[in-house]
Structure 1
Amino acid sequence: MRKFAAFACGTGAGFAAYYFQKLRDPLQVVHNSWTNSERHISECALWDSNWDFRDPKSLARPMKNDKPQEQNRYNADLEKNTSKYARHIILIRHGEYLDVGETDETHHLTDRGRLQAKYTGKRLHELGIKWDKVIASNMVRAQETAEIILDEIDFDKTKVKSCSYLREGAPIPPQPPVGHWKPEASFFRDGARIEAAFRRYFHRALPDQEKESYTLIVGHGNVIRYFVCRALQFPAEGWLRININHASITWLTISPSGNVSIKYLGDTGFIPAKHLTNRIPREAKNVV
């Protein structure tokens, strides 16, 4: 009887040690909590918490030793570099336009495109957002869209910023490849600029930010689709798999921890169905 009790006790201790070790493994905790599976997680599915290089641990000066004074200094550095509030980035694709003429100056919104922008402006007004920044691509169709939206929302037009980095372009060769479209020179020319725009506007809040902030960016389809892939840490080559309508709303939130979530992706539910478009009109008709 004593031998059996000792065996049971030893076995129980062994199981306890095994499960304690499992609980110490954060990846195993995720498995148990979400999938109850031992299947390996793909590397491309893992989240890089320092994607914007603003993780406090990457900004604080490392500890020289383990003395209390040095630990206090390190903790103070962490606190000084820690974000407190979220950033909301709302991306608007320009309205429908006509691709006529040889320069951007002739690419104006159609009547339908102006109407789409008006619907979007009204929707943003209904959301009751107090905007901290409004930025628009300096291409004509984006500038015209922004101007119409600004007539509907509460923001000082003199504070709107124009940005050439947000101009439309080809960000990266897509996967799967598109056989009829191979603008290698465009990728070489545009890719670095669009990536620079992402790095300029997508990052967690500065530590001194005192409330949640809201940034409105009026831009272009390819750029927005690339931003979404990059922000969510999906393979950037998948940008062409996403389709968004003209004057649509895409809303991304960057939390203080650096985690990113998406609230809207190409939302146009507020625009009547007969006015929905996503491609350049085939015929040069400027009517609704």
Structure 2
Amino acid sequence: MRKFTAFACGTGAGLAAYYFQKLRDPQLAVHNSWTNSDRPISECALWDSNWDFRDPKSLVRPQKNDLPQEQNRYNSDLEKHVAKSARHIILIRHGEYLDVGDSDDTHHLTDRGRLQAKYTGQRLRELGIKWDKVIASNMVRAQETADIILNQIDYDKAKLKHCSYLREGAPIPPQPPVGHWKPEASFFRDGARIEAAFRRYFHRALPEQEKESYTLIVGHGNVIRYFVCRALQFPAEAWLRISINHASITWLTISPSGNVSIKYLGDTGFMPAKYLTHRIPRDAKNVV
């Protein structure tokens, strides 16, 4: 028995020395550096679980003491504020339009833009989603896109909501800066409105929501890109680094815990390649 114990101890010590030496191996150190495992996590990479200010613990009065009745009260109040289901928010960029004239009234979809919207509507129909809400920016190109999509999906047009908060704009000065585009007045005017739209539509489900919900929002490129950055807790200034096609589908899911994931980002894989566009045509000659 003593010989076995000595053998086991010796073997254990040998293995410990071996693994300790491996941890000091320069090649292993390179691997650690590549994964950043030896560095502290950047503050901007940490997830704020109460980003929508609907974490149950932030909505309930804290415990006054450790008495059983107070603990029961606290736990009961927490349970009343816990979300039970996920929210799916599907964002559609309007179809291609011609930027002519001095007002939004003249910014109608091109023929190609109408076809793009039709393909998107068909794709949404194929997904078989039962929509709880459909909301569209009140700008002409978004309204026309929404109308075409609603002709393809199972949703009552009379229930379509119109929202001025979703209008196109400049949400925040981008990083890296764009030298030829400095709309300071636009950022000042549009930023608060677009942020208000984000807070209106992006949050975890209410506790009374018993099943997953699906909200369709037809809007604009800048607004959608800003929403994606805000929802995923990326720096909001990064919005201009993202490019999404006309009539594309972006799908975000907010779980009951408040975690957010992205399923599609600017998806247009269902659309024929010849109809793919993302820039606004300035010349009527180039419009299909």
TM (normalized to structure 1)?
0.88
Distance 1:285 1:183 in 2: 29
Q: Extract unaligned runs of 5+ from structure 2.
A: 17-31
Which residue of the partner structure matches residue 55 of structure 1?
55
Q: Read off the aligned partner of 2:45 and give its amino acid letter.
A: A
Q: Does 1:258 align with 2:245?
A: no
Question: CA offset at residue 285 of structure 1?
Answer: 3.8
CA distances 1:220-247 after superposition (whole Å, capped 9, x unpaired)? 0000000000000000000000000000
Aligned to 1:277: 277
CA distance in 2, matches of 1:148, 1:36: 48
Q: For the residues of structure 2 that align with 1:74 and 1:110, how far apart are their CA atoms?
A: 58
Residue type at the aligned position of 1:82: V
Amino acid of the structure 1 residue aligned with 2:123: R
Q: Which residue of 2 aligns with 1:201?
A: 201
CA contact (8 A) 1:110 1:286 kept: no
Give the alignment's Cα RMSD to 1 decimal.
Answer: 2.0
Aligned partners of 2:121 and 2:149 also within 8 Å: yes
Q: CA deviation at 1:286?
A: 7.7
Paired with 1:205 and 1:213, the residues of 2 have a C-alpha distance of 8
Given the alignment of the two structures, is residue 151 of structure 1 paired with residue 147 of structure 2, yes or no? no
| Cα distance in structure 1, aligned partners of 2:246 and 2:162 | 20
Q: Which amino acid aligns with 1:132?
A: D
Alpha-carbon distance, 1:162 to partner: 0.2
Alignment of 1:17-96 (within 5 A): 37-96=37-96
Question: Is the CA contact 1:116–1:271 (under 8 Å) kept in the aligned structure 2?
Answer: yes
Shift of 1:38: 2.9
Counterpart residue identity of residue 37, structure 2 = S
Q: Identify if the C-alpha distance between structure 1 residues 286 and 135 changes in structure 2 by more than 3 Å, giving closer, same or farther.
A: farther
How far 1:126 sits from its partner (Å)? 0.2
Name the aligned partner's letter for residue 254 of structure 2. Answer: I
**Cα deviation code 1:147-204 (max 9, x no counterpart):** 0000000001100100000000000000000000000000000000000000000000
d(CA) in 2 for partners of 1:241 and 1:36? Answer: 24
Query: Structure 1 residues 123 and 76 mapped into 2: Cα distance closer, same or farther (>3 Å)?
Result: same
Instruction: Output the CA distance in 1 between the equivalents of 2:205 and 2:163.
Output: 20
**For residues 286 and 109 of structure 1, do their structure 2 counterparts lie closer, same or farther at Cα, with a shift above 3 Å needed?**
farther
Q: Which amino acid aligns with 2:50?
A: N
Paired with 2:267 and 2:245, the residues of 1 have a C-alpha distance of 8
4+ long deviations beyond 2 Å:
35-38, 285-288
How far residue 283 of structure 1 moved from its aligned partner, in angstroms, is 1.1
Aligned to 2:232: 232
How far did residue 36 of structure 1 move?
8.8
Q: Which residue of 1 aligns with 2:214?
A: 214
Identify the residue that residue 108 of structure 2 maps to in structure 1: 108
Partner of 2:21: none
Corresponding residue of 2:132: 132
SS of 2:117's partner is helix
SS of corresponding position for 1:66? coil
* Native 8 Å contact 2:99 2:282 kept in 1: no
- So what's the TM-score if we normalise by structure 2? 0.88
SS in 1 for 2:71: helix
For residue 287 of structure 1, report the CA deviation from its aligned partner: 4.9
- DSSP-derived class of the 1:216 partner: strand
**Are the equivalent residues in 1 in contact too, given 2:63–2:70 (CA < 8 A)?**
yes
Matched position secondary structure for 1:204? coil
One-letter amino acid matched to 2:184: E
Structure 1 stretches of 5 or more lacking a match? 16-31
For residue 75 of structure 1, give the secondary structure of its aligned residue in structure 2: helix
